[in-house]
Amino acid sequence: AQSVTQLDSQVPVFEEAPVELRCNYSSSVSVYLFWYVQYPNQGLQLLLKYLSGSTLVKGINGFEAEFNKSQTSFHLRKPSVHISDTAEYFCAVSDPVEVQGAQKLVFGQGTRLTINP
């Protein structure tokens, strides 16, 4: 079965500093990869996704992620963070086995990003 590991449960960063949130997944089979963000007391919303093509994916709010097949990683980066980026970030992989044509997302444990002034 697929698994996703987010290597850091919490990441504190100063405002305007760069940040990288790490994500590794278990399967080397063709996968689709996602990053979702959860702001305090809200549901999850999609930041970006990788389906195919360029390994560097750009998302909303200045975030980007790089797909590395050989290292089975999909790390999320932002060159300069803002207070408003304080949130929990989830990496997810779409299980390649579909049942009744439906995708199943497998989520990582989440990384809480805290931006300090």
Partner 1 sequence: NAGVTQTPKFQVLKTGQSMTLQCAQDMNHEYMSWYRQDPGMGLRLIHYSVGAGITDQGEVPNGYNVSRSTTEDFPLRLLSAAPSQTSVYFCASSYRGLRGEEQYFGPGTRLTVT
To partner 1, the closest distance from the beta carbon of 15 in angstroms equals 26
- DSSP E strands, the chain: 4-6, 10-14, 19-21, 23-25, 32-38, 44-50, 56-58, 64-68, 73-78, 87-94, 105-107, 111-116
To partner 1, the closest distance from the beta carbon of 52 in angstroms equals 9
Place of tokens 């994500």: 23
Residue 89 and residue 110 in contact, taking contact as beta carbons nearer than 8 Å: yes
To partner 1, the closest distance from the beta carbon of 115 in angstroms equals 21
Closer residue to partner 1, CB minimum distance, 82 or 104: 104
Radius of gyration of the chain (CA): 14
Enumerate binding residues for partner 1 (CB under 8 A).
Answer: 4, 6, 9, 32, 36, 41-46, 49, 51, 90, 92, 94, 96, 98-105, 107-110
Closer residue to partner 1, CB minimum distance, 17 or 51: 51
Closer residue to partner 1, CB minimum distance, 70 or 99: 99
Closer residue to partner 1, CB minimum distance, 9 or 55: 9
To partner 1, the closest distance from the beta carbon of 99 in angstroms equals 6
User: How many Å apart are CA 4 and CA 75, to the nearest integer?
Assistant: 12
